[in-house]
Structure formats: structure tokens, C-alpha cells
Amino acid sequence: MKIVRGDFAGIEGKITKIDTHRQRLFVEGVTREKVAGTSTNVSVHASKVLLTKLNLEDKWRAESLKLTGTKPTAETGA
């Protein structure tokens, strides 16, 4: 996954958590330093990212793609 817009544009990483209610993604390596000195994860809106690789090891996800007729391409990693 690659962030294409915003303060963190150009950063690539894996998605660690998804907030479906707010349409936000938490990306590995996208953190912010707090005043106390600790770091915290920062969320990125889903419209500002580009999926570059799709993990098809999950059987449910692979079956879901077969049912919809979507074929994985070279960009999705299959």
C-alpha cells in the first residue's frame, strides 16, 4: 500500500488496522511524536492510498475474488 496524498505522501507500508466506521487505515511506519515523547500511530483516509499488493493467502478473500469475477493482475501480487 502506498500513500499518494497528504502529509505522509510517498510512504509505503502494510496496513495494520482498519477503522471502517471512519474510513481510516493505520499504516505501518506512519507515526507521530507526542509531546510526552512517545509515538502514536496516525490514521490515513482510505481515499488517499493506493493498494499495490494484495495478500491472497486468506482463503475467504481468494474465494471472494473468484465469485465477483475479478482477476488478480501483476500489480496485485498474484
Instruction: Name every residue whose Cβ is closer than 8 Å to that of residue 23 and which is 6 or more positions away in sequence.
Output: 45, 46, 47
Range of the structural domain that residue 34 is part of: 2-76
Q: In angstroms, rounded to a whole number, what is the distance separating the alpha carbons of residues 15 and 25?
A: 7
Are 13 and 28 within 8 A, CB to CB? yes
Which has the closest alpha carbon to 31: 42, 43, 45? 42
Assign residue 17 the CATH number of its domain.
2.30.30.30
Residue 77: per-residue pLDDT: 55
pLDDT in tens, 34-58: 999 999 999 999 999 999 988 788 8
- Residue 58: phi and psi, rounded to 5, are -75, 120
Q: In angstroms, rounded to a whole number, what is the distance separating the alpha carbons of residues 41 and 77?
A: 26
pLDDT in tens, 7-40: 999 999 999 999 999 999 999 989 999 999 999 9
Total of domains in the chain: 1
